[in-house]
Amino acid sequence: MNACAIAAAVRRGQVSALAVAERAIAACGADSHVAVTRVLAERARDAAAKVDATIAAGGDPGPLAGVPYGVKDLFDVAGLPTTAGSAFRREAEPAPQDASAIRRLADAGAVLVATLNMDEFAYGFATINASYGTTRNPHDPSRLAGGSSGGSAAIVASGALSFSLGSDTNGSIRVPASLCGLYGLKPAHASLPLDGTFAFAHSFDDIGPFATNLGDLALIWEVLLGRAVADGGAAYPIRVARLGGRFRQNADPAQLAAIDAAAPDAPLVELPDIAKARSAAFLMTAYEGGHLHRDTLARDAMAYDPAVRDRLLAGALLPDALYEHAVRWRGEFNARLRARFARFDVLLAPATPCVAPSIADPRIEIDGALSPARADLGIHTQPITFTGLPSLCVPLKRAGQLPLGLQIIGMPGCEARMLRFAVMLEEKGLTGVTAPIAGSTFGAHVGELT
């Protein structure tokens, strides 16, 4: 059952928020996908009881009344250390208050149930974590869930929670959404509140939701945004372009076929200097992440996951002048991009170059050669993040096959238009969530309760 349906049932008194929370607590406690790092049972029960008390008193608990969710383990949760996926932060000072995003969801009646696995310090596209384990894909547990928000995607794809929050620096929402067959939104840069999250690279970081349907995703986005949003262009057709060049060189044929079927008459266009943009994004991310951790690395580098430590050390050694050059070039690149694509509302591209790779051999083929999935699953998302543009991952309709997603990329402030176009793709039968979500035990349990 989706979030909107759960909230409606709770508000009508058909099911108690506490009963829904107990089911979610049990489902997260039985997690077999290495998605959950902590089950917040007592907190969830207390929050659910408050929702039920508000309803009993005739009040309105909010649009997400009693809906259970989880957050990537880099969101501050009051009274707990924010681990950011690192073992040595388990003993960090407890967060004094919840992250702003969690507070907004609580005000809307949502019930936080769990913190979720991630690549250490969000540095990776695989959720291979030396301390917490490798998150497994619910569609095939022998495969990766993607990252760095892999736990956030896997827990929703498994059916244990209605939605979750992740963060996206270079594709960390869109990559696992594609591999786990979900909707995942990276909004326009800095449009949602980041305070109370453990940063990776401040020039790129954003937060966003994973959901099983567009109605839930739109509602959660508006709750996080703090206001309702209307599509000002709803009376006009959506102007679409298909991204070519590098975006068609490393893509699954099913993605290209879906893109062409979605907008057969749309022009095929190329982003200028796309390879250079991705290189600049790599450099800026490494520099910002390395400098953020520079003092801690100097004190205790061996406490880090070795695969993360070496990349952070390399970033910390990058010269300031090189970083500043990349920042200036990004400004020039964005100006050219916006001028070139001002006549379009959305751009269509693959979200990942392939389906989820094997955990036993976490490599993917890029330009005809095998490459580490941890670094290159974001080949199509990283250049988009570099621009700060919003991007929505939508799952292809692939019953009985491993999931794959597309990116719907919008212009600044056009998230509502992106969502409208996503609805159109669903209506064409091209996109939509498929099993294992359709057969999730959590939805069945809530159905029994109602």
Residue 127 Ramachandran class (φ > 0 left, ψ -120 to 50 alpha, else beta): left
Q: Give the DSSP H or E segment for 144.
A: strand 140-144
Q: What is the pLDDT of residue 166?
A: 98
Residue 360's CB is within 10 A of a number of other CB atoms, namely: 7
Which phi and psi angles does 394 have, rounded to 5°? -120, 140
| Token pair for 73 | 């383990």
| Token pair for 324 | 């500043």
DSSP assignment letter at 80 = S
Q: What is the pLDDT of residue 413?
A: 77
Considering only CA atoms, which of 86, 132, 38 is closest in space to residue 289?
Answer: 86
- 236 burial level (CB within 10 Å; 0-12, 13-18, 19+): exposed
Does the predicted model carry a pTM greater than 0.85? yes
Residue 306's CB is within 10 A of a number of other CB atoms, namely: 11
Q: What is the pLDDT of residue 437?
A: 61
Where does 271-379 show beta strands of DSSP type E? 346-350, 363-366, 369-372
For residue 346, give the amino acid letter. V
Q: What are the C-alpha distances in Å from 202 to residues 166, 170, 205, 281, 386?
A: 15, 12, 5, 12, 12
First to last CA, the chain: 11
Q: Given 100, 149, 158, 172, which residue is catalytic?
A: 172
Considering only CA atoms, which of 176, 191, 144, 161 is closest in space to residue 356?
Answer: 144
- Determine contact, residues 146/176, Cβ cutoff 8 Å: yes
Calpha distance 189→186 (Å, rounded): 8
Burial 254-289 (b: 16+ CB within 10 A, else e): ebbebbeebbeebeebebebbeebbebbbbbbbbbb
Active site residue 172: yes
Q: Give the DSSP H or E segment for 136.
A: strand 136-137
Active site residue 148: yes
Active site residue 191: no
DSSP string, 252-284: -HHHHHHHHHH-TTS-EE--TTHHHHHHHHHHH
Q: What SS3 string covers 153-212?
A: HHHHHCCCCCEEEEEECCCCCHHHHHHHCCEEEECCCCCCCCCCECCCCCCCCEEEEEEC
Q: What are the C-alpha distances in Å from 181 to residues 56, 67, 250, 262, 403?
A: 38, 21, 19, 18, 5
Q: What are the C-alpha distances in Å from 253 to residues 249, 346, 367?
A: 10, 21, 15
Considering only CA atoms, which of 262, 317, 255, 309 is closest in space to residue 287?
Answer: 317
| Token pair for 114 | 């769990």
| Token pair for 261 | 């079927």
Q: Given 148, 158, 162, 203, which residue is catalytic?
A: 148
Q: What is the pLDDT of residue 251?
A: 97
Per-residue pLDDT of the chain (450 residues; tens, 9 = 90+): 699 999 999 999 999 999 999 999 999 999 999 999 999 999 999 999 999 999 999 999 999 999 999 999 999 999 999 999 999 999 999 999 999 999 999 999 999 999 999 999 999 999 999 999 999 999 999 999 999 999 999 999 999 999 999 999 999 999 999 999 999 999 999 999 999 999 999 999 999 999 999 999 999 999 999 999 888 777 789 999 999 999 999 999 999 999 999 999 999 999 889 999 999 999 999 999 999 999 999 999 999 999 999 999 999 999 999 999 999 999 999 999 888 888 999 999 999 999 999 999 999 999 999 999 999 999 999 999 999 999 999 999 999 999 999 999 998 778 899 999 999 999 999 999 987 765 544 444 445 544
